[in-house]
Amino acid sequence: MVEAVQDARVVVTGAGGGIGAALARRFAAEGARVVVNDLDAAKAQAVADEIGAVAVPGDASRIVAEARDALGGTIDVYCANAGLASAGTEAAGEKVWELAWDVNVMAHVRAAQELLPAWLERGSGRFVSTVSAAGLLTMIGAAPYSVTKHGAYAFAEWLSLTYRHRGLKVHAICPQGVRTDMLDATGSAGDLVLQPTAIEPEDVADALFKGIEEDRFLILPHPEVAGFYAARAADPDRWMTNMNHIQQKWEAGR
């Protein structure tokens, strides 16, 4: 058991399936009181019933107050997990870009706006951001997703460096492929880049809890991402040339 989350009051957004459901199950198994959020009310309720949690369905950007009430007035851990895998190029429509930005970045910002006053006053709180390796690197065929996941990572990083001395714990989870409906929706690009090394949602939960125990900000369920990230920083042109070769391979195979 992880002492830091025993008896904690936890909210997990996008928890009707995939990574979110795995996180909710793990927190419940560790002795936390959990709110399960999802846009799909039936899926949220099914997971909540399974683990003895409370379902609070709806837009992840707007449920902090209701979730706080469901947990007795306090949230200790907030998992900003809900995400949107928006494919497309720079030519994707304005609505595609707006929705990706709203779900992948602004939902995190709005949650932090509501959570931080109480957390900073009491000197503790834990914000878990499900980002993606795309937030550290990039993803072919998915400009809105890649750009907004970079934004999600940047916001988590900013929160951590700004408030860690005031008791805020922040974790940014950055997996590559995870066997979920979202991975299936990535199509041929996901088949080429993500499927070969895809892991289970439970592996992501394991990585997070190890990171909590070790008090680490950056959570890499695929350890090899650390090497890719270092290579990208050390020689950006070489990195982009290699990624462009993957882009060309993808285009040729379509």
End-to-end CA distance of the chain: 47
Give me the tens of pLDDT residue by residue for the chain, a chain 254 residues long.
787 899 999 999 999 999 999 999 999 999 999 999 999 999 999 999 999 999 999 999 899 999 999 999 999 999 999 999 999 999 999 999 999 999 999 999 999 999 999 999 999 999 999 999 999 999 999 999 999 999 999 999 999 999 999 999 999 999 998 998 887 777 788 788 788 889 999 999 999 999 999 999 999 999 999 999 999 999 999 999 999 999 999 999 87
Reduced 3-state DSSP string for 185-248: CCHHHHHHHCHHHCECHHHHHHHHHHHHHHCCCEECCCCHHHHHHHHHHHCHHHHHHHHHHHHH
The answer to whether 153 touches 142, Cβ cutoff 8 Å, is no
Kindly state the DSSP code that residue 82 receives in the 8-state scheme.
-
| Alpha-helical runs (H) found in 135-186 | 143-163, 181-184
pLDDT of residue 184: 77
Rg, C-alpha atoms of the chain:
18
| C-alpha separations of 113 from 26, 62, 103, 184, 249 in Å | 26, 11, 15, 33, 43
pLDDT of residue 1: 74
pLDDT of residue 217: 98
The answer to whether 127 touches 166, Cβ cutoff 8 Å, is no
pLDDT of residue 193: 79
pLDDT of residue 79: 98
Q: Domains along the chain? A: 3-253 (3.40.50.720)
Tell me the pTM.
0.95
The answer to whether 22 touches 205, Cβ cutoff 8 Å, is yes
Find, among 205, 105, 192, 189, the residue nearest to 155 by Cα: 105
Cα 148 to Cα 32: distance, rounded to the nearest angstrom: 30
pLDDT of residue 186: 76
